[in-house]
A and B are shown apart, each in its own frame.
Chain A
Amino acid sequence: MGESAELTEREQKLQGLGTAMLRREDARFIRGQGTYIDDIKLEGMLFGAIVRSPYAHARITAIDKARALAMPGVVAVLTAEDLKPVKLHWMPTAGGDVQAVLADEKVCFQYQEVAMVLAQDRYAAYDGAALVEVEYEELPAIIDPQQALAPGAPVIREDIADRKEVGHGPRTHPNHIFTWEAGDKAAADAAFAGAAVTVREEILNPRVHPCPLETCGCVASFNKATGYLTVYVTSQIPHLFRTVLAMLSGIAESRIRVVGGDIGGGFGNKVPIYPGYVVATVASIVTGLPVKWIESRIDNLSTTGFARDYHCVGELAADRDGRIRGLRFSALADHGAFNSQVSASKLPAGLFSICTGSYAIPNAYCRVDAVYTNKAPGGVAYRCSLRVTEAVYLIERMMDVLAQKLGVDKAEIRRRNFVKPEQFPYTTALGWTLDSGAYHAALDKVLKAVDYEGLRREQAAKRADPNCPTLMGIGISTFTEIVGAGPTKVCDILGIGLFDSCDIRVHPTGAVIARLGTMSQGQGHATTYAQIIATELGLPASDIVIEEGDTDKAPYGAGTWGSRSTPVAGAAAAQAARKIRDKARKIAAHLLEVGEGDLEWEIDRFKVKGSPSQAKTMKEICMVAHTGNIPPGMEQGLNAVSYYDPPNLTYPFGAYLCVVDIDRFTGETHVRRFYALDDCGTRINPMVIEGQIHGGLTEAFAVAMGQQLPFDENGNHLGNSLLDYFVPTAMETPRWETDHTVTPCPHHPIGAKGVAESPHVGGIPCFSNAVIDAFAHLGVTHMDMPHSAWRVWQKCQALGVNKRAGS
Chain B
Amino acid sequence: MAGTHPVAFKLNGKTVAVEVEARELLIYTLREKLAHTGPHIGCETSHCGACTVDCNGMSVKSCTVLTVQCGGAEVLTVEGLERGGALHALQQAFHEQHGLQCGYCTPGMLMRAYRLLQENPKPSEQEIRYGMAGNLCRCTGYQNIVKAVQAAARKLAAAPAAA
The answer to A–B direct touch (Cβ < 8 A) is yes
- Residues of A at under 8 Å CB distance from B? 22-23, 25-34, 36, 38-39, 41, 72, 122-123, 211-215, 262-265, 267, 296-298, 521-524, 687-688, 690-692, 694-695, 697-699, 721-723, 727, 729-731, 733, 735-736
- Residues of B at under 8 Å CB distance from A? 1, 21, 23-24, 28, 31-32, 36-45, 47-48, 50, 77-79, 81-82, 87, 91, 94-96, 98, 100-107, 110, 128-130, 132-146
Q: Are A694 and B96 in contact, with the CB atoms below 8 A?
A: no
CA distance A296 to B106 in the complex (A): 20
Nearest A-chain residue to B32, judged by Cβ: A41
Q: Are A34 and B41 in contact, with the CB atoms below 8 A?
A: no
In the bound complex, residues from chain A placing their C-beta under 8 Å from that of B45 are 297-298, 721-723
Q: Say which residue of B78, B138, B139, B145 sits within 8 Å of A32 (CB atoms).
A: B78
CA distance A214 to B103 in the complex (A): 10
Cβ distance A136 to chain B, nearest Cβ, rounded Å:
24
Nearest A-chain residue to B50, judged by Cβ: A213
Cβ distance B140 to chain A, nearest Cβ, rounded Å:
6
CA distance A30 to B97 in the complex (A): 12
Nearest B-chain residue to A20, judged by Cβ: B98
Q: Are A730 and B145 in contact, with the CB atoms below 8 A?
A: yes
Q: Determine chain A's interface SS by DSSP, over half rule.
A: loop
In the bound complex, residues from chain A placing their C-beta under 8 Å from that of B36 are 32
Q: Are B102 and A214 in contact, with the CB atoms below 8 A?
A: yes
| Sample of 6 A–B contacts (CB below 8 Å) | A22-B95, A30-B100, A32-B38, A264-B40, A722-B45, A730-B129
Q: Say which residue of A26, A41, A296, A697 sits within 8 Å of B95 (CB atoms).
A: A26
CA distance A723 to B136 in the complex (A): 13
Q: Are A29 and B40 in contact, with the CB atoms below 8 A?
A: no
Q: Say which residue of B44, B78, B98, B139 sits within 8 Å of A298 (CB atoms).
A: B44
Q: Are A722 and B47 in contact, with the CB atoms below 8 A?
A: yes
In the bound complex, residues from chain B placing their C-beta under 8 Å from that of A265 are 102, 104, 138-139
Q: Say which residue of A41, A122, A262, A692 sits within 8 Å of B28 (CB atoms).
A: A122
| Given A122-B28, A694-B143, A730-B132, A722-B48 contact (CB < 8 Å) | yes
Q: Are B42 and A297 in contact, with the CB atoms below 8 A?
A: yes
CA distance A523 to B103 in the complex (A): 10
In the bound complex, residues from chain A placing their C-beta under 8 Å from that of B94 are 26, 30
| Given A23-B98, A30-B87, A731-B130, A691-B104 contact (CB < 8 Å) | no
CA distance A261 to B104 in the complex (A): 12
| Given A23-B95, A30-B94, A32-B78, A296-B44 contact (CB < 8 Å) | yes
Q: Say which residue of B21, B28, B43, B143 sits within 8 Å of A297 (CB atoms).
A: B43
Q: Are A31 and B91 in contact, with the CB atoms below 8 A?
A: yes
Q: Are B101 and A695 in contact, with the CB atoms below 8 A?
A: yes
In the bound complex, residues from chain B placing their C-beta under 8 Å from that of A32 are 36-39, 77-79, 106-107
Cβ distance B34 to chain A, nearest Cβ, rounded Å:
12
Q: Determine chain B's interface SS by DSSP, over half rule.
A: loop
| Given A22-B96, A122-B28, A262-B103 contact (CB < 8 Å) | yes
CA distance A701 to B118 in the complex (A): 32
CA distance A41 to B32 in the complex (A): 8
CA distance A262 to B36 in the complex (A): 16
Q: Are B79 and A729 in contact, with the CB atoms below 8 A?
A: no
| 10 further A-B pairs in the complex, CB-CB below 8 A; given A29-B106, A213-B138 | A32-B106, A213-B50, A213-B139, A265-B104, A297-B44, A687-B98, A721-B43, A722-B45, A730-B128, A730-B129
Q: Are B105 and A213 in contact, with the CB atoms below 8 A?
A: yes
Q: Are B128 and A36 in contact, with the CB atoms below 8 A?
A: no
Q: Say which residue of A22, A39, A691 sits within 8 Å of B37 (CB atoms).
A: A39
Q: Are A727 and B138 in contact, with the CB atoms below 8 A?
A: yes
In the bound complex, residues from chain A placing their C-beta under 8 Å from that of B41 are 38
CA distance A39 to B104 in the complex (A): 12
In the bound complex, residues from chain B placing their C-beta under 8 Å from that of A34 are 103-104
Q: Determine which residue in A23, A29, A695 has the highest number of CB atoms from chain B within 10 A of its CB, and name it.
A: A29
Cβ distance A18 to chain B, nearest Cβ, rounded Å:
16
Q: Determine which residue in B21, B40, B43, B128 has the highest number of CB atoms from chain A within 10 A of its CB, and name it.
A: B43
Q: Are A522 and B44 in contact, with the CB atoms below 8 A?
A: no
Q: Determine which residue in B39, B41, B48, B77 has the highest number of CB atoms from chain A within 10 A of its CB, and name it.
A: B41
Q: Are B133 and A264 in contact, with the CB atoms below 8 A?
A: no
In the bound complex, residues from chain B placing their C-beta under 8 Å from that of A296 are 43-44
In the bound complex, residues from chain A placing their C-beta under 8 Å from that of B50 are 213
In the bound complex, residues from chain B placing their C-beta under 8 Å from that of A735 are 143
| Given A32-B77, A721-B43, A735-B143, A523-B138 contact (CB < 8 Å) | no
In the bound complex, residues from chain A placing their C-beta under 8 Å from that of B81 are 31
Q: Determine which residue in B82, B87, B101, B104 has the highest number of CB atoms from chain A within 10 A of its CB, and name it.
A: B101
CA distance A32 to B100 in the complex (A): 12
Q: Are A698 and B141 in contact, with the CB atoms below 8 A?
A: yes
| Given A41-B32, A214-B42, A690-B98, A698-B82 contact (CB < 8 Å) | no
Q: Are B38 and A33 in contact, with the CB atoms below 8 A?
A: yes
Q: Say which residue of B1, B100, B141 sits within 8 Å of A736 (CB atoms).
A: B141
CA distance A735 to B147 in the complex (A): 12
Q: Say which residue of B21, B24, B44, B141 sits within 8 Å of A697 (CB atoms).
A: B141
Q: Are B101 and A524 in contact, with the CB atoms below 8 A?
A: yes
In the bound complex, residues from chain B placing their C-beta under 8 Å from that of A26 are 94-95, 100, 103
| Given A297-B43, A730-B132, A263-B102 contact (CB < 8 Å) | yes
Nearest A-chain residue to B143, judged by Cβ: A694
Q: Are B146 and A72 in contact, with the CB atoms below 8 A?
A: no
CA distance A709 to B114 in the complex (A): 35
In the bound complex, residues from chain A placing their C-beta under 8 Å from that of B144 are 691, 694
Q: Are A691 and B101 in contact, with the CB atoms below 8 A?
A: yes
| Given A30-B87, A30-B95, A735-B143, A522-B103 contact (CB < 8 Å) | yes
CA distance A522 to B105 in the complex (A): 11
| Given A39-B37, A41-B32, A265-B139, A730-B133 contact (CB < 8 Å) | yes
Q: Are B101 and A212 in contact, with the CB atoms below 8 A?
A: no
In the bound complex, residues from chain B placing their C-beta under 8 Å from that of A736 are 141, 143
CA distance A727 to B137 in the complex (A): 8
